[in-house]
């Protein structure tokens, strides 16, 4: 199943080139704040996977091509992100650590955006904003101290995820926290649909240039390890998002670019880059010269 959020926050399931709109069947109030309907639905589906079966039959249909796709979970409890989780990216960043000995950081929920929304660049003319191509893992059943052998019981599904960042040496979270710096989508492909996530090809283009290409088998800290490590520290809740780390090939984007990410059996989305007027801060007043070594 492919779970989507679209237009004004409607919830649906993608079937071919259509969306089955579940908004009314779920009794979902589009004015609800905070917007926790998707978080709640993931929790319910994790308890009762068949919950939607009867509802889907009578749902209105919307052409997928005409829908504006939003981030599938706008209000998770947290977005967890693993830095330097592919050796080739570690080498290009000249990082002397890896995620398995470094741990994770958090991105703010307010940085989440969707496939139908632009990445808005902050007004930081001295700096480059880079793309990072990542597999997003969406937690289903929550838990604490989850042993690695039980990881499958806690994964709801997977999405394409772009971990956008202002390059620099300042606080990592600060540089990765801007609104729209965490596009997730185009939907959540549920775990049963994706099958084995430990051998997924992923690819990222800027316009038509391939920038990143990798397979999840090359993760330093693997998916069971990420769930074990994160839950050793924090209770995981349904809808939590894990950004699993980027392979080599990170690089700058500019206004007008189209960033395309595709992950095998998960999906593909193309996100437009726009220049925003705000976001300037004295933190980025000094230029930063990245010491990134491009790898072939």
Contact footprint for Mn ion (CB under 5 A): 132, 163, 246
Please identify, using beta-carbon distances, which residue of 146 and 164 lies nearer to Mn ion.
164
Please identify, using beta-carbon distances, which residue of 190 and 212 lies nearer to Mn ion.
212
- Cα–Cα distance measured from residue 296 to residue 294, given in angstroms and rounded to the nearest whole number: 7
**Minimum CB distance to Mn ion, residue 215 (Å):** 17
Please identify, using beta-carbon distances, which residue of 52 and 250 lies nearer to Mn ion.
250
**Minimum CB distance to Mn ion, residue 176 (Å):** 8
**Minimum CB distance to Mn ion, residue 245 (Å):** 6
Please identify, using beta-carbon distances, which residue of 39 and 246 lies nearer to Mn ion.
246
**Minimum CB distance to Mn ion, residue 244 (Å):** 8
Which residues have a Cβ under 8 Å from the Cβ of 260 and sit 6 or more positions away? Answer: 204, 205, 206, 268, 269, 270, 271
**Minimum CB distance to Mn ion, residue 140 (Å):** 22
**Minimum CB distance to Mn ion, residue 7 (Å):** 29
Of 163, 108, 101, 161, the closest CA to residue 131 belongs to 163
Of 216, 192, 43, the closest CA to residue 136 belongs to 216
Please identify, using beta-carbon distances, which residue of 45 and 121 lies nearer to Mn ion.
121
Residue 260 pairs with which residues in a beta bridge?
205, 270
**Minimum CB distance to Mn ion, residue 243 (Å):** 6
Please identify, using beta-carbon distances, which residue of 21 and 163 lies nearer to Mn ion.
163
By beta carbon distance, the residue nearest Mn ion is 163
Please identify, using beta-carbon distances, which residue of 132 and 257 lies nearer to Mn ion.
132
């Amino acid at each position: 199943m492919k779970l989507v959020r679209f237009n004004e926050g409607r919830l649906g399931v993608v079937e071919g080139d259509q969306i089955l709109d579940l908004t009314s069947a779920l009794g979902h109030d589009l004015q609800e704040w905070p917007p926790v309907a998707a978080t709640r639905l993931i929790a319910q589906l994790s308890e009762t996977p068949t919950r939607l079966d009867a509802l889907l039959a009578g749902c209105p249909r919307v052409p997928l091509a005409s829908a504006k796709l939003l981030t599938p979970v706008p209000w998770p409890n947290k977005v967890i992100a693993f830095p330097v989780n592919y050796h080739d990216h570690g080498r290009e960043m000249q990082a002397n650590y890896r995620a398995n000995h470094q741990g994770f950081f958090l991105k703010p929920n307010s940085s989440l955006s969707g496939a139908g929304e632009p990445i808005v660049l902050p007004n930081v003319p001295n700096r480059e904003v880079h793309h990072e191509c990542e597999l997003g893992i969406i937690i289903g059943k929550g838990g604490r101290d989850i042993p690695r052998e039980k990881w499958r019981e806690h994964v709801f599904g997977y999405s394409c995820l772009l971990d956008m960042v202002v390059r620099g040496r300042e606080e990592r979270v600060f540089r990765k926290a801007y609104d729209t710096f965490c596009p997730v989508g185009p939907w959540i492909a549920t775990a049963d649909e994706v099958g084995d996530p430990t051998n997924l090809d992923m690819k990222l283009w800027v316009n038509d240039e391939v920038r990143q290409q990798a397979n999840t088998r090359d993760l330093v800290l693997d998916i069971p390890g990420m769930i074990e490590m994160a839950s050793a520290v924090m209770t995981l809740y349904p809808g939590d998002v894990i950004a699993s780390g980027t392979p080599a090939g990170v690089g700058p984007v500019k206004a007008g670019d189209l960033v395309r990410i595709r992950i095998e059996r998960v999906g593909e989305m193309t996100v437009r880059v726009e220049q925003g007027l705000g976001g300037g801060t004295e933190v980025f007043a000094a230029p930063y010269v990245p010491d990134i070594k491009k790898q072939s």
